[in-house]
Amino acid sequence: MLDIIRKYRVLLGSKSPRRRELLQMMRIPFNVVTIAGVDESYPETMPAVEVPLYLSGIKADAYLKHLDDNELIITADTLVILGDRILGKPHTADDAVEMLKSLSGNTHKVITGVTIATKEQRTSFSSTTYVKFGTLSEDEILYYVDNFHPLDKAGAYGIQEWIGGVAVEKIDGSYYNVMGLPIHQLYKELKVF
């Protein structure tokens, strides 16, 4: 399997239950670590498509000073981008409704930036998936917001939930990237790390 498992204690620097689930699918033993208060701001002039990779790097930087020599950290950041507008995690149910209304009937990008780092080595990559939503009624949007947990998800939706089944007409790219971790690409990168 992966030589990396023998060389390093793998750490996932993420609070996301979806990223944990996806990394578990790869059968890589890992521990979850979190650092509170990581500044996730980015330059206002930065193009939206570059932000996820930038943020995954900032997160990795925060963990590096705490790593032991035999530890490897994986950090990631996923954003939904509609046109040039970043749709992060909604702050309120009303924000979630507005985000889902804007996604309804449109194609958006989901970009995940991933950084793999040890004290001696570092690599970063990003993955882009295009997602086409069908038109959603206001009742459907309200049903989703009232019955699921859109506030902890970029773009206010989880593709693996009810809305993914009823709204997603087409995806071009990695399904798992939309969930928050492009595991096929991560696996390839870990093999050569």
Active-site residue set: 77
Q: Residue 187's closest CA among 74, 38, 104?
A: 74
CA distances from 9 to 22, 75, 107, 162 (A): 18, 14, 39, 36
Q: Which two tokens stand for residue 33?
A: 């670590």
Cβ contact 110:128 at 8 Å? yes
Residues 94, 96, 97, 103, CA torsion sign = positive
